[in-house]
A and B are shown apart, each in its own frame.
Chain A
Amino acid sequence: MSVTAKRFDEKARGEFARFGTTRVGPGELLRHPVYTRILHWSVAIFFVLSLLTGFAIYSPWLFRWIAPLFGGGPRTRLFHPWFGLLFTIFFFFQFLNWFAPMAWKEADRRWMKRMRNYVTNEDPMEPDDVGFFNGGQKLYFWAIVVSAILFLITGLLMWFDHVVPRWSVAVSYVIHDIAALVMLGGFIIHVYEGTAHQPGTFRSMIDGTVTGRWAWTHHPGWYRAVTGRDPRDDYEREKRRQEEQ
């Protein structure tokens, strides 16, 4: 399966690279190619639309605030399953695109152990064994995989509620809600880390590139893999260069 997925993925990347480009400037690294960026934004847009329409139906307090944005309650209800379905479809392609770099490694277990340091900005640089994705990103990715499966199954049961047993709709309702709350929590952290908390990250999702400094700071293992240089050495050299100035 993985070979087929990889071949499909490479083909898709090639097709997208024909009409899109990523300009990598001096001192910059290519982080996300066109295909990944378009997938990510497709997933993100339909996730947010699903989240908004879903939370309108979820809570009577949010209903009157959010439902008007989509043209009222009935349309909110009408759109929600379609937004959700599109989210699931795009996320499936993103899953194919990313499941290899998202594989759980020994380094990720170590990362989870020192998550406290990460949260409190204790270390200026990530440990050397942090690769393309860190443990937190992988945890979020696999949480989305599990949630997307739960969303799809329970969502279909609730969509076709008149043909499935009554209890299955009542159970789906709770599972769908719990998955949504987990996703909401992850989404808040994900957006925060990608924007306000880590300057220089958001551009990787727009332009596809990051600076070398960003790369050795947040993903030293990946920096070593793509440049072949030691992240620590480059960090020290840059530091000396700054001090000399």
Chain B
Amino acid sequence: MANPRTFQIQEISAHPGPVPGRDARREDAVCKYIDVSTCIGCKACEVACVEWNDHPFRETTFNDTYQTMPSTEWNYYNLIRFAEDQNDGNLMWLMRKDQCMHCEDPGCLRACPADGAIIKYENGIVDFQQENCIGCGYCISGCPFDIPKFHPKTKKVYKCTLCSDRVGQGLEPACVKACPTGCLKFGTKADMVQIAGLRAKQLREVSGFADAGVYDPQSIGGTHVIYVLHDIKRPERYGLPANPIIPPSYTYWKWLAKPIGLWMGLLGIVAVFFHRVAYGPKLPEPAPPAVLTGPREEIEAGRKETP
């Protein structure tokens, strides 16, 4: 992509004062805003997601709830989770749009052993490159939100792309475009965090949800999908981890212990090579005596080493 700053005006002839827009910077990080308090569970976003990604029809599962299926699938990136929640004698229907959170520190990317199978763009979108995926499934265990899903036929893993193909063309993700209530918004991370903060404040001060807040977990450096929740103190009510973490085996172990292990292996090979050079072979005893015939130089060479 061309540097957007290339055509920023640097100097202007006969212009009084500084160049307008000089040193203006573009906010690169994008974000999807989800306000669970205004979601009506209509599933328009689910349909839009399937449509835009051209996914085949998938049979739904009826579990006595208003949820389409138990979890997101390799061809169903976007799912409205439904929970009947009882709190202080109040019954609430909690609708939460579940999809990839596009973590600032993505556990899937940390866990992946295949070169180039998972990439993160400057704008924060985490995208799977299926042509490089080897189908090991480590990303599934690295994800704190249980999002990547294995496709048994192609043996590749799939998940929400935040419609990187649409965002690249300046469009909002398909789910955001389809949402009829405005509970989904898309924009820069800073803007979305600000709007979410305002909405949470409104819920606290006007709507009587004293614990309302913004879900942008800092344990993984924040996410590029943020929620406004009625109850930020207990995100588990919505099926969200309060403190999502990447398993240490994909962070410390992989990037510290692995190179050390490899160097030790290499050192082992070098060590046995030089052991052979320094100590020589262990011959069956008694070793046959050196045949001392031939020119004098060769006999000298056959003698035992002297310091």
The reply to whether the CB of B268 lies closer than 8 angstroms to some CB of chain A is yes
Docked Cα-Cα span, A238 to B249, in Å, equals 58
What is the 8 Å Cβ interface bit string for chain B, positions 125-138, against chain A (1 contact, 0 not)? 00000001111111
Query: Do A74 and B133 contact each other (CB < 8 Å), given the known contacts A64-B115, A162-B140, A188-B268?
Result: yes
> Is B136 within 8 A of A181, CB to CB?
no
Q: Which of A77, A120, A170, A199 contacts B279 (CB 8 A)?
A: A120
| Nearest CB in chain B: distance from A222 CB, A | 14
- Interface hits, B273-305 → A, CB 8 Å: 275-276, 279-286, 288-289
Looking across the interface, which residue of chain A has its beta carbon closest to that of B248? A170
Q: Using Cβ atoms and an 8 Å threshold, which residues of chain B touch A214?
A: 284
> Is A78 within 8 A of B115, CB to CB?
no
The reply to whether the CB of A167 lies closer than 8 angstroms to some CB of chain B is yes
Q: Using Cβ atoms and an 8 Å threshold, which residues of chain A touch B132?
A: 73
> Is A74 within 8 A of B286, CB to CB?
no
Docked Cα-Cα span, A203 to B259, in Å, equals 36
Query: Do A161 and B281 contact each other (CB < 8 Å), given the known contacts A58-B113, A242-B289?
Result: no
The reply to whether the CB of A174 lies closer than 8 angstroms to some CB of chain B is yes
Q: Using Cβ atoms and an 8 Å threshold, which residues of chain A touch B114?
A: 63, 73
> Is B268 within 8 A of A196, CB to CB?
no
Q: Which of B138, B155, B275 contacts A78 (CB 8 A)?
A: B155
Q: Using Cβ atoms and an 8 Å threshold, which residues of chain B touch A173?
A: 138, 141, 249-250, 253
The reply to whether the CB of A86 lies closer than 8 angstroms to some CB of chain B is no
Most buried by B among A67, A78, A189, A197: A197
Q: Which of A77, A162, A199 contacts B281 (CB 8 A)?
A: A199
| Nearest CB in chain B: distance from A115 CB, A | 13
- Interface hits, B88-132 → A, CB 8 Å: 113-115, 117, 132
The reply to whether the CB of A116 lies closer than 8 angstroms to some CB of chain B is no
The reply to whether the CB of A211 lies closer than 8 angstroms to some CB of chain B is yes
Docked Cα-Cα span, A173 to B259, in Å, equals 15
- Interface hits, A160-178 → B, CB 8 Å: 161-162, 166-167, 169-171, 173-174, 177
Q: Which of A76, A121, A169, A199 contacts B138 (CB 8 A)?
A: A169
| Nearest CB in chain A: distance from B239 CB, A | 15
Looking across the interface, which residue of chain A has its beta carbon closest to that of B155? A74
> Is B276 within 8 A of A76, CB to CB?
no
Docked Cα-Cα span, A121 to B277, in Å, equals 12
> Is B286 within 8 A of A238, CB to CB?
yes
Q: Which of A77, A121, A200 contacts B136 (CB 8 A)?
A: A77
Looking at chain A, what size class is its interface with the partner chain? 35 or more
A-B contact count (CB 8 A): 132
Query: Do A60 and B115 contact each other (CB < 8 Å), given the known contacts A161-B140, A242-B288?
Result: yes
Query: Do A59 and B249 contact each other (CB < 8 Å), given the known contacts A64-B115, A73-B132, A77-B135?
Result: no
> Is B276 within 8 A of A170, CB to CB?
no
> Is B265 within 8 A of A185, CB to CB?
yes
> Is B134 within 8 A of A192, CB to CB?
no
Query: Do A170 and B250 contact each other (CB < 8 Å), given the known contacts A74-B155, A77-B136, A161-B140?
Result: yes
Q: Using Cβ atoms and an 8 Å threshold, which residues of chain B touch A238?
A: 286
The reply to whether the CB of B261 lies closer than 8 angstroms to some CB of chain A is yes
Q: Using Cβ atoms and an 8 Å threshold, which residues of chain A touch B146?
A: 166
Q: Using Cβ atoms and an 8 Å threshold, which residues of chain A touch B234?
A: none
| Nearest CB in chain A: distance from B251 CB, A | 10
Q: Using Cβ atoms and an 8 Å threshold, which residues of chain A touch B279?
A: 119-121
> Is B258 within 8 A of A177, CB to CB?
yes
Docked Cα-Cα span, A156 to B257, in Å, equals 23
Q: Which of A61, A177, A200, A242 contacts B286 (CB 8 A)?
A: A242
Docked Cα-Cα span, A223 to B280, in Å, equals 24
14 other A-B residue contacts (CB within 8 Å) besides A61-B262, A63-B115, A173-B253: A59-B113, A74-B135, A158-B136, A161-B137, A169-B137, A169-B141, A177-B257, A177-B258, A188-B265, A196-B281, A199-B283, A200-B284, A218-B282, A238-B286
Closest 8 CB pairs of A and B: A170-B247, A169-B141, A73-B134, A213-B284, A192-B272, A77-B134, A214-B284, A161-B137
A-B contact pairs, 29 of them (CB 8 A): A57-B113, A59-B259, A63-B113, A64-B115, A73-B117, A74-B134, A76-B134, A119-B275, A161-B137, A166-B143, A166-B146, A169-B141, A170-B248, A173-B249, A177-B258, A181-B261, A181-B265, A196-B272, A196-B281, A197-B282, A198-B281, A200-B283, A200-B284, A211-B284, A213-B285, A214-B284, A216-B285, A235-B285, A238-B286
